[in-house]
Structure 1
Amino acid sequence: MPAALLDLILPPRCAGCGAPGAVACPSCTTGLLREPAPRPPDPPPAGLPDCWSATAYDGAARRMILAHKERGRTALVPALAASVSACVAAWAAGGEAERELWLVPVPSARAASRRRGHDPVRSLATAAARELCRRGRPAVLAPLLRQGRRVADQAGLGSAERAVNLSGAFEVVPGAAARLLPSGRRPGAVAVVLVDDVVTTGTTLAEAARALRATGTEPAVAVTIAATRRRRRIGEYHRE
């Protein structure tokens, strides 16, 4: 039975810690907002925009993201999207008060969306845009990107392998930006925010940024819920 349906039938338990009472308990929800800040990968791939995350990809945050993404617990969307919107708001407070925010979800592979039964990043970006509007920050979902070709599953790939796998993978949906712009509004009047759930090596976000730049759209920032920690091995780095 799908996890989303079980959440409706059974007494809910927190996806982060297992405590009864809610799919996201107050403590784990607070953890998702641990500290919105720049958390770029090290080293960052070429072309990666300024990269912010709300927390580290560990503990309850990791369990909640995986429960939503891989196990279909869509009831977690409000809590996870609040993390995205808080991170966007923290970044925008540094000087983006005048521009409308366009939240551009990194596109999921079609096969992955079919297997999961939903598009987790688009759901997060949609809910985060609504939350920002409730906070008085003009924001819209801007689905500008799509997959231009099939890619392999990224799990287990290193940074170099991810770069090869994703090279040229994304493209801009023709006419998508023009349809979102009100009459007379210039593209420079908006701040384009790339949204993903987790940043690991930064390769996915860098490829998304490349696709936008190819049509003259410059992303202002990339925002995720969480960032993986980097751990040193002998003679090399790897992402956890």
Structure 2
Amino acid sequence: MGGWWQEITELVLPADCAGCGEPRTALCGRCRAALSGRAAGPVRPDPVPDGLPPVRAAAPYADEVRAVLLAHKERGALGLSRPLGAALAGAARVAAPGDGPLLLVPVPSARRSVAARGHDPTRRIARSAAAELRRAGRPARLCAALRQRRPVADQSGLSARRRLGNLMGALEAPAPAARWLREAPVLLVDDLMTTGASLAESARSVRAVGGQVTGAAVVAAPPTAFRGRRGRERPQPERFGDERRSR
């Protein structure tokens, strides 16, 4: 009920752009273009965790994109799930080309994080992305099949190696979710890739029950993770401590 009321309120009351602060618009055209105005590109963390599938990201995690993701995740600007879902759908089309059935499997969030925020941001964006893909003619559906099998420490402040150790063996696909994961190619989705540890552990969990991971798609990744020209255009400091917590 709270999430529904918040979304209606965002539509009725004037708001400033979540990305740049432009008045009386929830998301201005410039910030919308920053999210999904360019073709999604391949991203690769350094070091690359074992088992990480190919990842495509819609935009570099910097400036307006960073502000929009944080507004949705941490400040509950739920109306932003639609443009963020559109950006994720664009990355999904590149990560899993074709027109066959596709399962979007979100990286699971910790229950305590969902309770503290009052919503599951990754699942909400993934649901919007699946709807966007279906509108474009791609048979896609959300399959929230993964869960945390044990508590994990707060990821913020951990090195890449410690994040991997923190998440190793932490996820599972319980029955009957395991059966669903074998019905169609799986595309792992998340709002943000930093070290790739969450995506690598999610891929391991899907493969462990016989699922086929075709790749991964995210809304954003560090500018330094983009291969080629785009990652070198605007180097930005990598600031992750305020958005990742324990998922």
Does TM, normalized by the shorter one, top 0.5?
yes
Instruction: Report the Cα offset of residue 230 of structure 1.
Output: 3.6
The alpha carbon displacement at 1:239 in A equals 5.2
Kept in 2, the 8 Å contact 1:16–1:64? The answer is: yes
Residue in structure 2 matched with residue 132 of structure 1 by the alignment? 133
Selected match of 1:193 from 182, 187, 190: 187
Secondary structure of the 1:71 match is coil
1:159 aligns to 2:163 (yes or no): no
Paired letter, 2:218: T
| Secondary structure at 1:49 match in 2 | coil
What residue number does 1:202 align with? 196
Corresponding position: 1:57 with 2:61: yes
**Does the CA contact (< 8 Å) of 1:103 and 1:194 recur in 2?**
yes
User: Once the 2 structures are TM-superposed, how far is the Cα of residue 210 of structure 1 from its aligned partner?
Assistant: 0.7
TM-score by length of structure 2 reads 0.84
> How far has the Cα of 1:177 moved from its partner?
4.4
| CA-CA distance at 1:126 after TM superposition | 0.8
Residue range with higher mean Cα deviation, 169-178 or 67-76 = 169-178
Contact 2:178 2:209 in 1 (8 A): no
Decide which structure has greater strand share.
1
User: 1:221-236 to 2 correspondence within 5 Å?
Assistant: 221-230=215-224
Partner of 1:173 in structure 2? 174
AA aligned opposite 1:60: E
Unpaired runs of 5+ in structure 2? 226-236, 240-247
Equivalent residues of 2:96, 2:215 under 8 A apart: no
- Structure 1 match to 2:205: 211
Structure 1 letter corresponding to 2:214: A
Contact 2:104/2:130 (<8 A) preserved: yes
Paired position in structure 1 for 2:89: 85
Mapping 1:9-48, distance limit 5 Å: 10-33=13-36, 34-48=38-52
In structure 1, distance between residues paired with 2:95 and 2:161:
29
**Residue equivalent to 2:229:** none
- Residue 72 (str. 1) matches residue 76 (str. 2): yes
- In structure 2, what residue type is equivalent to 1:163? L
The alignment partner of 2:219 has SS state of strand
Structure 2 counterpart of 1:118, one-letter code: H
Q: Where does the alignment leave 5 or more consecutive residues of structure 1 unmatched?
A: 182-186, 232-237
Question: Could you list the runs of 4 or more consecutive aligned residues of structure 1 that deviate by over 6 angstroms after TM superposition?
Answer: none
Letter in 2 for 1:194: L
- Work out the CA distance in 2 between the residues paired with 1:81 and 1:138: 16
Taking a change above 3 Å as real, the CA distance of residues 101 and 167 of structure 1, as seen in their structure-2 partners, is: same
* TM-score between the two structures when normalised by the length of structure 1: 0.87
3-state DSSP of counterpart to 2:185: strand
Q: Contact 1:42–1:230 at 8 Å: present in 2 too?
A: no
Partner of 1:103: 104
Deviation at 1:8, TM superposition (A): 5.0
Name the Cα RMSD after superposition.
Answer: 2.2
C-alpha distance in 2, partners of 1:109/1:55? Answer: 25
**1:121-159 superposed Cα distances (whole Å, 9 cap, x missing partner):** 000111110110000011001111011111111111110
CA distance in 2, matches of 1:191, 1:50: 14
